[in-house]
Structure 1
Amino acid sequence: MKKCFVVSAIAAALLTAGCATVAPMSPTTSMSSVDTAKNSYVLMTVTLKNNYHTSYQPSPIVVNMERGAADTRQDRLNFKFDDDRTGTADAGGHYFVRLPLAPGKYVMRGITGQSGIFPFHGMFFTPLHEVVDVKPNSIVYVGHIDATVVERKDGELRAGPMIPLLDQAATGFSGGTWDISVSDQFDSDIAAFKKDFPALSNASIDREVLPAWDKQKATEWWASH
């Protein structure tokens, strides 16, 4: 039971401005240019689904990034999802992620979000735990992430905390786990980015796709937190 409360506290903490710097994604569809002199940009697409309890499709709130030891608020960055180029449906949602970041090494810790249909509202955490090396004056595509909630087996990490019991069970996040894959969809994704984000239309975009998702590493992190 203690572990349940700990996991719940971590998930809640990831959403609060008191322990992290909350920032908007950039560029937006209304921007005409980007300046990489101060920040570089990390681009990716994400598809989130819940195949376990299909009435409760995941709605992401923030991408959780950590810089260095992440021992200060400024080194814990929560980038808010927005409505720019977001497609949602009963079968899940597709999202265009744009992260303005100062050069340096980061850990893309994961994605925190929620789902709810009255009277139940649940919280989830999609664990990624991938290192991203952001180079100066760069715009880089790191891939497409497919993350799907499926029924959990004993010992597998949970898609979300157990508390509150009824909400997390009803939405499927406490009884579900994540099936995650990373793929290189550079051509189609970058064509979409350039079409819908004018600031990127003439940009030079590098490709450094994240490695395959390591479920064992994600499970070990979950077990220790």
Structure 2
Amino acid sequence: MKKYIAIFATVGTLLTSGCATVSTMSPTTTTSSVDTTKNSYALMTVTLKNAYHTSYQPSPIVVNLERGAADSRADRLNFKFDDQAATAGDSGNHYFIRLPLAPGKYVMRGITGQSGIFPFHGMFFAPLHEVVEVKPNSIVYLGHIDATVVERKDGELRAGPVIPLIDQAATGFSGGTWDISVSDRFDNDVTAFKKDFPALSNASIERDVLPAWDKQKATEWWANH
């Protein structure tokens, strides 16, 4: 449970400490251009939904990535979600993820977030655990993630920690699990990226969609951490 708990501790620090540093997504809707000689860019879209306790829809806080063995703080990357190109609807809350990354290999651990309606406030972690290889001077589309909280059966990974008991139960994250799928929506998503983010309007964007979500791998990681 140590790493699993550490994810939430890290996010708690980011939210409460003024001196904590958070990586920002880029480009923004006001960015005029991107320079891939400084960083490459990984793009993806995600839709989050709670179909178990529907009053508590997931609100993401950070995308968690690790570089190498992730032994140092600098190699544990947390990209903060912003409100740019985010939409809400009956099918879930939809977000455009833009990650400026130095070339190299990363593990995209997942997405950490929260949901709360007074008096309950819960935390969740949507696990991905996928390797992302970022090439120099590139902009790559990683695909679309649909992540939905559904009722958990015995032995399945939890959508969030058990503690605090009442909050996590009320929001459905301790009693729920994740149903996650990866799809290729390259044409629609890239068109939307170029429309909403002018810096990408004339960019050449490669397709390198993540593999299908492996729930068994995610469950084993959850059980061991």
Q: Is TM more than 0.5 here?
A: yes
Instruction: Give every structure 1 segment of 4 or more consecutive aligned residues whose post-TM-superposition deviation is greater than 2 Å.
Output: 6-11, 89-92
Structure 2 CA distance for partners of 1:132 and 1:7, relative to 1, 3 Å: closer
Partners of 1:83 and 1:121 in 2: CA distance: 20
Q: Does 1:71 align with 2:56?
A: no
Q: CA deviation at 1:22?
A: 1.7
Partners of 2:132 and 2:224 in 1: CA distance: 22
> Which structure 2 segments of 5+ residues have no match?
none
Q: CA deviation at 1:172?
A: 0.1
CA deviations over 1:132-171 (Å, ceiling 9, x no partner): 0000000000000000000000000000000000000000
> Which structure 1 segments of 5+ residues have no match?
none
Corresponding position of 1:104: 104
Secondary structure of the structure 1 residue equivalent to 2:129: strand
Structure 2 CA distance for partners of 1:7 and 1:163, relative to 1, 3 Å: farther
The RMSD of aligned alpha carbons is: 1.5
- Cα contact 2:4–2:222 (8 A) shared by 1: no
Corresponding position of 2:205: 205
Sequence identity (%)? 80
- Cα contact 1:43–1:98 (8 A) shared by 2: yes
Corresponding position of 1:195: 195
- Cα contact 1:14–1:64 (8 A) shared by 2: no
Equivalences, count: 220
Secondary structure of the structure 2 residue equivalent to 1:77: strand
Query: Structure 2: which amino acid aligns with 1:13?
Result: A
Query: Structure 2: which amino acid aligns with 1:9?
Result: I
Structure 2 CA distance for partners of 1:137 and 1:7, relative to 1, 3 Å: closer
Q: How does 1:131-170 map to 2 (within 5 A)?
A: 131-170=131-170
Corresponding position of 2:62: 62
TM-score relative to the length of structure 2? 0.94
- Cα contact 2:36–2:137 (8 A) shared by 1: yes
Q: CA deviation at 1:12?
A: 1.8
Q: CA deviation at 1:8?
A: 6.6
- Cα contact 1:40–1:101 (8 A) shared by 2: yes
- Cα contact 2:107–2:129 (8 A) shared by 1: yes
Partners of 2:119 and 2:90 in 1: CA distance: 18
Secondary structure of the structure 2 residue equivalent to 1:13: helix
Partners of 1:42 and 1:82 in 2: CA distance: 16
Partners of 1:115 and 1:54 in 2: CA distance: 11
Q: How does 1:9-48 map to 2 (within 5 A)?
A: 9-15=5-11, 16-17=13-14, 22-48=22-48
Corresponding position of 1:216: 216
Q: Does 1:49 align with 2:49?
A: yes
Query: Structure 2: which amino acid aligns with 1:36?
Result: T
- Cα contact 1:54–1:91 (8 A) shared by 2: no
CA deviations over 1:91-143 (Å, ceiling 9, x no partner): 52000000000000000000000000000000000000000000000000000
Q: CA deviation at 1:13?
A: 2.4
